[in-house]
Amino acid sequence: MTSGTLTLVSTKDDDLSALPVVPARHPWRWVGVAFVLVLAAQFVHGLVTNPAWDWPTFARYFTAQSILTAVGTTIFLTVFGTVLGFALGIVVAVLRMSKSPFLSAVGWTYIWAFRSIPLIVQLLFWFNISYLYQRLSLGIPFGPEFVSFETISLISPMGAAVLGLALHQAAYAAEIVRSGVISVDRGQLEAAAALGIPRFRQFRRIVLPQAMRSILPNAANEVISLFKGTSVVSVMAIGELFYQVQVIYGRNARVVALLMVATIWYIVLTTLLSIGQHYVERYFARGDRR
């Protein structure tokens, strides 16, 4: 036994456990940091010293009444686009996941159609719907009418914008909801079924809270993208933020300062949404923390 023993730590001088540890150095990281800091300093210096940024004009318009009203319109469009879009999106996702091949095809077709049409084309289409159908009416299909409306009075430019944004959003929301639902482990549904929990309650209490974990980051992306995407409704002359700054710089030619007004508002509101996202995600992550 003794003859075959290999001794790794032989003498007291070689006792490695007593030696201090020197961490590896990364000098190139410091070079990288210095490089980026210099660039950032130049950028900030330019923002402050270059008169072309025209900060006094920025300050004058940032909280002007017309801009605040436009911010309100942008928020209104985002909220309605999101709420109606996700409500319809949940319906479409349920259709798409239906065991009935017909209903599933209906869901698939909706998603296919509204993902295929560019949002701006769709908005212009709704804006001009009254060329296509002058009157809309409720009644028996192919039979008598009960009430009828002038299309142009029923669908205002604002109505067309909300309709277009919501229908567009619903197609994406449907896929996000579906991806969340199919990410829930099959065993969860089996357990719920084995316990005899009613179908709707299974969805609300078991599936949805777990699906939310993967739905939320994607949904937040969509809300933020819709929030900035509302700027496309400026083609319909609706007074949201981007349209409003265009109108103002059309008058006074202070293009850069007014674009910065819009930019900073978009950044502020996106930041608020991101903070909200953090807290909502944390709520749905309960049970995942030790």
Partner 1 sequence: MIEVLNVHKSFGALEVLRGVSLNVAAGEVVVVLGPSGSGKSTLLRTINHLEKVNRGYITIDGDLIGYRRRGGKLHELKEREILKQRKDIGFVFQNFNLFPHLTALENVAEVAELADARHFLERVGLADKASAYPRQLSGGQQQRVAIARALATRPKVVLFDEPTSALDPELVGEVLDVLRDLARSGTTMVVVTHEIGFAREVADRIVFMDEGVIVEEGPPDQLLDHPVHERTRAFLSKVL
Which CB sits closer to partner 1, 209 or 239? 209
Contacts of 27 (CB under 8 A, 6+ apart): none
Residue 178 Cβ, how far from partner 1 at the closest point, in Å? 20
Query: What's the residue count for the chain?
Result: 290
Residue 222 Cβ, how far from partner 1 at the closest point, in Å? 23
Which CB sits closer to partner 1, 182 or 193? 193
Q: Binding of partner 1 at residue 199 (CB under 8 A)?
A: yes
Which CB sits closer to partner 1, 210 or 270? 210
Residue 276 Cβ, how far from partner 1 at the closest point, in Å? 20
Which CB sits closer to partner 1, 4 or 287? 287
Residues 168-187 that bind partner 1 (CB under 8 A): 185, 187
Q: Tell me which residue of 177, 171, 236 sits closest to 207, measured CA to CA.
A: 177
The CA distance from 127 to 159, in Å, is 9
Residue 142, exposed/middle/buried by CB under 10 A (0-12, 13-18, 19+)? exposed
Q: Are strands 135-139 and 145-150 parallel, antiparallel or unpaired?
A: antiparallel
Residues 204-223 that bind partner 1 (CB under 8 A): 205-206, 209-210
Residue 115 Cβ, how far from partner 1 at the closest point, in Å? 31
Q: Binding of partner 1 at residue 193 (CB under 8 A)?
A: yes
The CA distance from 266 to 274, in Å, is 12
